Amino acid sequence: MGEPNILLTRIDNRLIHGQVAVTWSNHLGTNLILVANDEVSKDQVQQSLMDMAAPENVQTRYFSIQKCIDIIHKAAPHQKIFIVVRTPEDVLKLVEGGVPLKKVNIGNMHFSEGKKQITSTVSVDENDLNVFKKLTDKNIECIIQRVPDEIGKDIKKFF
């Protein structure tokens, strides 16, 4: 089929919620939010909750990382895909599996033990930074940006 029409990939531990569902979806003009997450792909309750947040005119899909890798190239040309994942590692797995990503929006990575806060919504540890370095070494732009009208920050500033 050709290359899938992936508009953007976002890292957000909350996956689909108001910012993703409304602000980013409208800004991008997406018609499909694809959540690539092993846990959520098997959890109907989480999927139902996220479906409630998604706009009516936007379809949702919940795939494991591997299923996303396996079928993304079968996407129809009219599908304007917005991929949402939970972690930088998920993005790296997608890229290493052949998913053609060019830009990653780093939206929300919660603070937890061992992480340092680098912006108001993003906390990272050494592993996260190493993964971002691998992604940028593959010429994938990684920008921290909460909402579309905010000026993004290149993750390379934090290496």
In one letter, which amino acid is 132?
F
In one letter, which amino acid is 140?
I
Quick one: tokens of 109?
A: 């990575």
Look up 17 and say whether it is catalytic. yes
Q: How far apart are CA 90 and CA 98, in angstroms?
A: 13
Q: How far is CA 66 from CA 37, 91, 126, in A?
A: 9, 12, 25
Q: Which residues are catalytically annotated?
A: 17
